[in-house]
Structure 1
Amino acid sequence: MRLLRIPPGAFIGMIVTGVFVLAAVFAPLIAPYGMAEIVGGVWEPMSSQHWLGTDNLGRDLLSRIIYGARTTLAIAAAATLLSFFLGASLGMIAAEARGLVDQVLSRGVDLLMSIPTLIFALVVLSVMPGTIPTLILVMGILDSTRVFRLARAVAVDIRVMDYVEAAKLRGEGRFWIITREILPNALSTLVAEFGLRFIFMVLFLSALSFLGLGIQPPEADWGGMVKENKAGIVFGIPAALVPAAMIALLAISVNLVADWILNRTSNLKGSGADA
């Protein structure tokens, strides 16, 4: 019965997102060929052997898309988790501590946000080792500034509620108030924002790979695949458009689910207020 209450758009988003996740997890079992295996000519058309054709080196495009889903989703998810851990933790600490702690953290975040994120990432990655942990660390830290702003704003609203004041009167410490009062009540907003930040990470990673500072060949990721096959667009070869379409499809499906979660939690809060 609960499935019937899910809007069609959100339900479709769940299915599409689930397909991407399953493809990423079981990539070695699903992909018909190896990630870097050359199995045909350059930019061969779609056929029964190669459902999406081949890429600029003669590798199976469908296999590259499936392996690319594993790389793209794994790195984007890890970077998003890091950004939320840093941003939400520091944002709630700033909101609860106030005073000098709030000012130092907030001005530090303002300083980072004053520099364009992509330019900052390109500068940092150009002088640091081009490894996946470095990529995740840079992406996570840069995006944590946005999460910090959201978490702090939500926490500031929650900390003036009666139940928080009651906890302070009972003598509860700041850590207890943050973890037991503020975080549970801010969780729905943060969960909805998680989906949006995850898609931003996918787009961010794709942009870095397209510019040559993201995932390095022969590893497959969707942004890098667009770069590898972009020359074929001039000749009417759609090899670069397929990974671009996967990025767009993933973004739409995750946003549909995130919007539904946000609307659902907002409605629940409204119903509770009316009651």
Structure 2
Amino acid sequence: MEQTAPSAPQRIVKARRTLAQNIWRTLKKAPYSAWFGMIVIALYIFVALFAPWIAPYGEAEIVSQVPFDAWSWAHWLGTDQLGRDMFTRLLYGARNTLGIALATTLLAFAIGGGLGIIASIFRGWIDQLLSRAVDTLMAIPQLIFALILLSIFGSSVQNLIIIIAVLDSTRVFRLARSVAMNVVVMDYVEAAKLRGEKLGWILFREVLPNIMPTMIAEFGLRFCFVFLTISALSFLGLGIQPPTADWGSMVRENATLITYNDITPLIPAGAIALLTVAVNFVVDWFLHKTSGLRDEK
């Protein structure tokens, strides 16, 4: 009896099932540090997505007439200098800080990664022009440059995302150009050029898939740097502006409590540190997996 070939929907289902099985096998072999990082990241994402439903109060709602009210069943982490619930603002801070950091990192990779690959493909005067412009921007300390630009253009969310993304894209450009330079000289890229393939084909079908593991690992590290930069700017008063909740500004607004042996300002600072450590655990594991190194037994 002849066996009929599987239909297209069946092949798609089978391919998805195989992909899911391969992902699960890889995750099962992940070290405890990577699992810890993934669980923490998943928890942060959950809080960021569902903050309005989890938080007991509104983001800027004044719920107490007593500034810096103590911890209680009504206010788990007390209140801030205006009488707003700290636990609520901590949850909303995850939504705002992570969302803005993610948008900034994506924009930085779109700018820096795209220009880096273009520079590696065309080389010549285009590569020189872009590289010298990047060198000029990198010669200025990033935090100081961001403070100057935000002071000039204002500290709106749009300006914050654009300014930090442009400044951070210089680091992405250098990495993308470096790894892409090793790919564009390969025979399959030269063959694509001889076939008359357009720039889009070479970029998305030949170069980008071969540098993707390195760029994904860099995305995780770059997200941490952007996240810390936004928190630092908010702590200095030029980042995310009130009444929007942000972990960096929460540390600044409640820093006076430390002199009274109150650890409340350390909680948003700890949230920043915990996410940074978690992302680095996952990135380290991903780099180890994509490097081709075997685990020692």
TM bin, normalised by shorter chain, reads over 0.9
Q: Does 2:68 correspond to 1:32? A: no
Offset at residue 141 of structure 1 (A): 0.4
Q: Does 2:30 correspond to 1:6? A: yes
The whole-number CA distance in structure 2 between the counterparts of 1:234 and 1:189 is: 45
Match of 2:224 in 1: 199
Q: Does 2:273 correspond to 1:248? A: yes
Q: Does 2:83 correspond to 1:80? A: no
The whole-number CA distance in structure 1 between the counterparts of 2:254 and 2:160 is: 23
Letter aligned with residue 152 of structure 1: R
**Which of residues 168, 171, 190 is equivalent to 1:143?**
168
Match of 1:219 in 2: 244
Match of 2:284 in 1: 259
Contact 1:43 1:237 in 2 (8 A): no
- In the alignment, structure 2 segments of 5+ residues that lack a partner are 1-23
Mapping for residues 173-212 of structure 1, pairs under 5 Å = 173-212=198-237
The whole-number CA distance in structure 1 between the counterparts of 2:191 and 2:202 is: 10
Letter aligned with residue 258 of structure 1: V
Once superposed, which parts of structure 1, at least 4 consecutive aligned residues long, lie more than 6 Å away?
A: none
SS state of the match for residue 68, structure 2? coil
Q: Does 2:215 correspond to 1:157? A: no
Letter aligned with residue 165 of structure 1: E
Mapping for residues 43-54 of structure 1, pairs under 5 Å = 43-54=68-79
Mapping for residues 72-111 of structure 1, pairs under 5 Å = 72-111=97-136
Contact 1:44 1:54 in 2 (8 A): yes
The whole-number CA distance in structure 1 between the counterparts of 2:58 and 2:97 is: 17
TM-score normalized by the length of structure 2: 0.87
State, as a whole percentage, how many aligned pairs show the same letter.
Answer: 57
The whole-number CA distance in structure 1 between the counterparts of 2:269 and 2:164 is: 21
Offset at residue 93 of structure 1 (A): 0.4
Q: Deviations over 1:16-50 (max 9, x none)?
A: 11111111111110001111122232223322222
Q: Does 2:192 correspond to 1:167? A: yes
How many pairs align?
269
Q: Deviations over 1:185-232 (max 9, x none)?
A: 111111111111111111000111111111111111000101101111
Contact 1:192 1:258 in 2 (8 A): yes
Letter aligned with residue 133 of structure 1: Q
Contact 1:13 1:252 in 2 (8 A): yes
Offset at residue 177 of structure 1 (A): 1.5
The whole-number CA distance in structure 2 between the counterparts of 1:216 and 1:4 is: 42
Offset at residue 264 of structure 1 (A): 1.1
Contact 1:43 1:239 in 2 (8 A): no
The whole-number CA distance in structure 2 between the counterparts of 1:104 and 1:175 is: 21
Match of 2:45 in 1: 21
Contact 1:36 1:59 in 2 (8 A): yes
Please, what is the CA RMSD of the aligned residues?
Answer: 1.4
The whole-number CA distance in structure 2 between the counterparts of 1:262 and 1:221 is: 31
Offset at residue 173 of structure 1 (A): 3.3
SS state of the match for residue 238, structure 1? coil
TM-score normalized by the length of structure 1: 0.94
The whole-number CA distance in structure 2 between the counterparts of 1:174 and 1:34 is: 49
Report the more deviating stretch, 114-123 or 34-43: 34-43
The whole-number CA distance in structure 1 between the counterparts of 2:253 and 2:107 is: 29
**Which of residues 37, 62, 65 is equivalent to 2:87?**
62
Larger-Rg structure: 2
The whole-number CA distance in structure 2 between the counterparts of 1:229 and 1:22 is: 26
SS state of the match for residue 239, structure 1? coil
